[in-house]
Amino acid sequence: MRWGERLTELGSRLEPYQSVVGALTAVTLVLGVVVVANDGDGAGPAATGRAGDVVAGDARGPAGLLGTGDVDHDGTVEVGAGGGATAAGGTGAGDRRDRRGQPVQAPATAAGGGDPMAHPNCDPNTGRVAVPSLYAPPCVPEFPAGGDNGGSTHRGVTGDTITVVVRHGAGNPAAEAILRAAGADDSREDIQATFRAYRDYFQHHYETYGRQVEIVFFEATGDDDEAGRADALRAVSELGAFASWGGSGAYAQELAARGVICLDCPVSEPIESYHARAPYFWGTLMSSNQAYMHRAEYIGKRLAGRNAVHAGDVTMQQRPRRFGIVYYETEDGAYGAGVDFFERELARYGVALDDRIEYVLDLNTAPQDARTIIARLRNNGISTVIFAGDPLMPIFLTNEARNQLYEPEWFITGSALTDTTFFARTYERTQWSRAFGVSMLAARGTQELGEPYRVHLWHHGTAPQAEAGYALIYAPVWMFFTGVHLAGPNLNPQTFRDGMFAFPPSPPDGGIMSVHTAFGEHGFWPWTDYTRFNDMTEIWWDPTATGEDEIGQDGVGMYRYVDGGRRYLPGEWPSSDPRPFDREGTVTFYTERPEPDRYPEYPPPR
């Protein structure tokens, strides 16, 4: 199939997910929140749910739910024999340590005293909430019925409720022409029902101190900055939001400026973005600085000074690598600081970039932009292209590289779903057969092995109603309830932050299908961390492997995870030559979770 036809096919199937990736790129603004498929006549079913949930404005027509770029939400939690979390002033951290052997402090909560192990939802053997989750938080004391939670502790919080908003995004017409769901046809009803189902799961098992979470769904008035600011003002003044599940750009910035927590807002911007808007911005991936630290370490230790042996050009193979980065940029230059940081990190290893090219994604001009970029890389003798951008631009770049007979190595940075098999199958086959690098995403398995699917089935007895988008919906909801659970009854943005920082680094002993998670200061980063991911794994593209992509479609071409998907924290990458394109010890897909990643077992609450 020609690539133009592949794009047409992709365009015909990605519409329900116009916004699934948040602010990663102009395209991922359109991917970024799960967009509801049109039911045919343009009138989606009216939203229904438990009393208290609201759909603000007209509930008809296709729309997108600003969500997350996180493809999965797996992880492992282990505690030592000494027990788990305790109330403020208590003990019980035991010998629990993080993956680097450092002691993990038990979280302190202001829950009014009491024994956290006596909570009916606590597993006293682990000190964690008794759910089949690898990210269950430490137990906290049970909040008594009729207890005093402080009432209205912040805007959007009363003695009985917490108001959360979910904004339906306005689609970008140019991106919609390409991004029409990859076999995903979740309706708006499916998506809203899945948000509610996860809300009900967490509400039942996590401590919320006498309050119920109410979700307000509302329509975006447009996709530009002016509309984003106006929608944020509405979320604050009219809808009374304490938090937003998903957001990006001017919408997220305006929410933060007005004291509203935004989860999965933004996606992988420089750490300065999170610090400037602390404690309101929380990310489900990494900041760009964290990702660039990993990339620089890998390149500095394993690639720099060595020949470009994986290039298709024989001349390149016989010469030391020359590195050029192609990266996504916004009109206001939001991502340039991350690349500046990358260059400083590379310099620590004695490495300098030989070229640096930014692009602002415009799907109408992308073919011409790719032609110019490839010609420049080729003329500058770049042997190793470091791509840090959206998941669509490689379609144009790899096809143009083929047209210009340019055969470099492609270094995968794990940016914006470029490390998903689904998108990689849209890239030019021969060019991407030389692609290798790093990924934030954990080694893959069947949907039944993933935590979002498993907990839904365990709690509700059914699979998620949003068959394709449930894992994307799960991520910000998990973050929110974790922070509320560990915040204590006096809920406000500062206590929410303290609750997130109290979540112990997980998994302390590593994992294969588990992403290492921590917030705050645990020694992994030289700053306070407001994003989830800490570790990365090594991947390469096998154009002949067959199997399912991330949405269950069979096809040819898959990413291979090196050493079975072993994950590395910053500072842990080896100095040996990498072994991309060597199948020994690699895996494309797990059908059973490895031992370190096994879930705890509990009877379902039915």
Average pLDDT over residues 404-417: 95
Q: Which amino acid is at 412?
A: I
Looking at residue 416, its pLDDT comes to 83
Beta bridge partners of 583: none
Neighbours of 189 (CB within 10 A): 19
Q: Where are the beta strands (DSSP E) in 424-520?
A: 435-439
CB atoms within 10 A of CB 457: 15
Q: Is the pLDDT of residue 16 over 50?
A: no
Q: What is the pLDDT of residues 62-80, one digit of tens each?
A: 222 222 222 222 222 222 2
Please state which of the ranges 54-58, 134-138, 362-366, 552-556 shows the lowest mean pLDDT: 54-58
Q: What is the CA radius of gyration of the chain?
A: 23
- 440-461: average pLDDT: 93
Distance of CA 601 to the CA centre of its chain: 26
pLDDT of residue 407: 98
Same fold, 3-69+150-286+449-491 and 288-444+535-596: yes
List strand residue ranges (DSSP E) for 197-250, in order: 212-219, 243-245
Per-residue pLDDT of 166-194, as tens digits, reads 998 765 444 444 434 444 467 778 889 99
CATH 3.40.50.150 fits 288-444+535-596, yes or no: no
If we measure between CA atoms, which residue out of 473, 482, 475 comes closest to residue 501? 482
Could you confirm whether domain 3-69+150-286+449-491 is CATH 3.40.50? yes
Contact 372, 358 (CB under 8 A): no
Other beta carbons less than 10 A from residue 352's beta carbon: 11
| pLDDT of residue 94 exceeding 50 | no
Domain spans of the chain? 3-69+150-286+449-491, 288-444+535-596
Residue with the two structure tokens 């700053």: 527
595 Cβ contact list (under 8 Å, min separation 6)? none
Q: Write the single-letter amino acid at 373.
A: I
SS3 443: coil
Averaged pLDDT for residues 276-294: 94
User: For the residues 105-129, what does the mean pLDDT come to?
Assistant: 79
Q: What is the rounded distance in angstroms from the CA atom of residue 559 to the CA atom of residue 129? A: 35
Reported as a single tens digit per residue, the pLDDT across 340-354 is 999 999 999 999 999
Number of CB atoms found within 10 A of residue 82's CB? 13
User: Would you say residue 246 has pLDDT above 80?
Assistant: yes
- Which pLDDT score is estimated for 285? 86
| H or E element in which residue 369 lies | helix 366-379
Q: Name the average pLDDT for the chain.
A: 82
How many CA atoms lie within 13 Å of 213's alpha carbon, on the beta-carbon side?
29
Q: Vertex 52, ends 50 and 56: CA angle to 5°?
A: 110
SS3 of residue 55 by DSSP: strand
